[in-house]
């Protein structure tokens, strides 16, 4: 398939040249993405399709008035019409006295592992075949297992950014994924859905690992055991701890929270806020990671930003607007809502350096505790304080170093900033997981001591 980077960048630059005659500043961000997916629901393949998601988002500035417009048609005439709409919106909007300008030119780092020539050539039938193979393997290997949901898909396409301050760049991206939700009947109902997923920037998906892990945990989930209330050792998989960090801790590390004085971390740069066993960074350049790209949605170069390093708070993440207000540089963490034009601050790939040994090794050292593979209700965490109260689902009881069964309705509660001081051990089983908002985490399972667990009342 033809590489569209030069074409999109030329369209963006022409739109900037057109709008520059009428406004003080203008930027254009555009993308052309193709999504292919085959899906299973309740054991039956119910869809296989390819869709296109194209669009151009324009932001114009007149003085300190901002106006936005969007079009899903990528031709010069339609884009110029959208530019005129953005100009009109800017002229009629209110002034923003804190506005200081669009991003300026900066050097881009090289990125690798973000494009696979094979993915754009894959027809939907290939995805159907792989999905059928996945479902057949899962049902054959799991006694009484039901594929509640499964999918195999890819996203590929191109993006470009240009503004009137001379910034201009284009990028391309491929992503492939496979997931399965496996469940089975029990004497009292059904097991929770056991979700396993693999995401790659190429088509070398780990089908066997996804099926094997789902079947392994489903076998344990068929046995229901009682939970226990009190301070417990809790092991969070990379997916679970990533979800908790995203909702309960990372909002306090965003630049907008710092400037608005809503973050309890605002005056703690350089302070020890976590166990020295814990580090994590926002890495927009990690080779092959889900969110790795040449630039963010404002054309600012992606970078690697240490947030916590051996327990110490090292930095925050910024987009251009909030960085300008605070007198610092953007860290390349702008995320754009294409249709509304709203820019927000989002992490890219959260990387937690792993420890040693397998997850089984980590569990084997625990006399009493829980393994948590997923969370419900993390989105309701208090973003200002980091307090959370979530349902652990699926949640497995650990007794004498073994998984003994599945605990229904078990909750864990506490504060994110307290939790990260209770790190016990990190496994060496790092994998990539997807979080909300296009964010990823690449990290291991982690055990925490003294976590408040609340058992469901009988």
Q: Write the DSSP string, 133-159.
A: HHHHHHHHHSTT-EEEEEEEEEEEEEE
Q: CA-CA distance, 261 to 418, in Å (whole number)?
A: 20
Long-range CB contact pairs, 398-401, < 8 A, 24+: 398/233, 398/235, 398/363, 398/366, 398/368, 398/369, 398/370, 398/371, 399/367, 399/368, 400/367, 401/363, 401/364, 401/365, 401/366, 401/367
pLDDT the model gives residue 458? 60
Q: CA-CA distance, 348 to 286, in Å (whole number)?
A: 10
| CA angle centred on 200, ends 199 and 201, rounded to 5° | 140
pLDDT tens digits along 307-357: 999 999 999 999 999 999 999 999 999 999 999 999 999 999 999 999 999
Residue 78 three-state SS? helix
pLDDT the model gives residue 143? 87
Of the listed ranges 8-12, 43-47, 210-214, 378-382, the least confidently predicted one is: 43-47
Q: CA-CA distance, 171 to 332, in Å (whole number)?
A: 15
Cα 93 to its chain centre, rounded Å, is 33
Residue 250 three-state SS? helix
pLDDT tens digits along 145-156: 999 999 999 999
Go through 408-418 and write b for each residue having 16 or more CB atoms within 10 A of its CB, e for each that does not. Answer: bebbbebbbbe
pLDDT the model gives residue 417? 96
pLDDT the model gives residue 243? 95
Least Cα distance to 407 among 157, 234, 205, 173 occurs for 234
C-alpha distances in angstroms, 362 versus 70, 209, 401, 429, 451? 50, 20, 8, 10, 16
Q: CA-CA distance, 91 to 96, in Å (whole number)?
A: 12
Give the residue-averaged pLDDT of 403-430.
96
Least Cα distance to 360 among 427, 285, 267 occurs for 427
Domains of the chain listed by start with CATH number: 5-221 (3.30.2290.10), 230-454 (no CATH)
Q: CA-CA distance, 262 to 283, in Å (whole number)?
A: 24
pLDDT at 457 over 80: no
In the chain, the percentage of residues whose pLDDT exceeds 90 is 93
pLDDT tens digits along 37-89: 999 887 677 778 889 999 999 999 999 999 999 999 999 999 999 999 999 99
Give the residue-averaged pLDDT of 87-113.
96
pLDDT at 187 over 90: no
434: phi then psi, degrees, rounded to nearest 5: -95, 135
């Amino acid at each position: 398939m033809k590489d569209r980077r030069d074409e999109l960048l030329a369209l963006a630059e022409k739109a900037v040249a057109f709008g520059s005659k009428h406004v003080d500043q203008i930027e254009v961000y555009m993308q052309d993405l193709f999504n292919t997916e085959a899906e299973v629901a309740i054991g039956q393949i119910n869809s296989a399709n390819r869709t296109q998601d194209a669009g151009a988002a324009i932001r114009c500035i007149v003085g300190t008035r901002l106006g936005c417009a969007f079009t899903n048609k990528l031709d010069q005439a339609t884009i110029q019409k959208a530019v005129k709409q953005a100009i009109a919106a800017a002229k009629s909007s209110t002034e923003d006295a804190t506005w200081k300008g669009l991003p300026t030119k900066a050097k881009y780092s090289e990125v690798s592992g973000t494009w696979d020539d094979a993915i754009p050539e894959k027809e939907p039938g290939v995805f159907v075949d792989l999905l059928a193979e996945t479902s057949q393997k899962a049902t054959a290997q799991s006694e009484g297992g039901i594929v509640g949901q499964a999918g195999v898909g890819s996203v590929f396409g191109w993006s470009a950014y240009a503004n009137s301050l001379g910034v201009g760049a284009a990028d391309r991206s491929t992503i492939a994924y496979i997931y399965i939700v496996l469940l089975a009947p029990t004497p009292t109902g059904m097991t929770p859905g056991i979700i396993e997923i693999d995401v790659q920037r190429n088509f070398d998906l780990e089908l066997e690992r996804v099926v094997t892990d789902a079947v392994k945990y489903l076998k344990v989930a068929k046995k229901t055991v009682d939970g226990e209330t009190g301070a417990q050792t809790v092991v969070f998989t990379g997916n679970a701890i990533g979800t908790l960090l995203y909702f309960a801790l990372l909002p306090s590390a965003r630049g907008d929270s710092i400037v608005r004085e809503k973050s309890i971390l605002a005056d703690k740069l350089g302070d020890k806020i976590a166990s020295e066993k814990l580090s994590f960074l926002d890495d927009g350049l990690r080779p092959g990671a889900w969110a790795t790209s040449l630039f963010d949605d404002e054309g600012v170069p992606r970078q690697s930003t240490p947030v916590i390093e051996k327990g110490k708070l090292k930095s925050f993440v910024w987009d251009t607007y909030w960085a300008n207000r605070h007198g610092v540089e953007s860290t390349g963490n702008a995320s754009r809502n294409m249709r509304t034009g709203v820019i927000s601050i989002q992490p890219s790939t959260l990387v937690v350096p792993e420890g040693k040994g397998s997850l089984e090794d980590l569990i084997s050292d625990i006399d009493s505790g829980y393994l948590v593979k997923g969370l419900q209700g993390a989105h309701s965490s208090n973003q200002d304080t980091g307090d959370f109260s979530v349902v652990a689902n699926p949640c497995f009881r650990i007794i004498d170093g073994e998984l003994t069964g599945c605990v229904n309705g078990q909750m864990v509660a506490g504060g994110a900033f307290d939790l990260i001081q209770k790190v016990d051990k990190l496994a060496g089983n790092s994998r990539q997981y997807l979080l909300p908002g296009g964010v990823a985490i690449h990290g291991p399972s982690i055990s925490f001591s003294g976590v408040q667990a609340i058992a469901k009342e009988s």
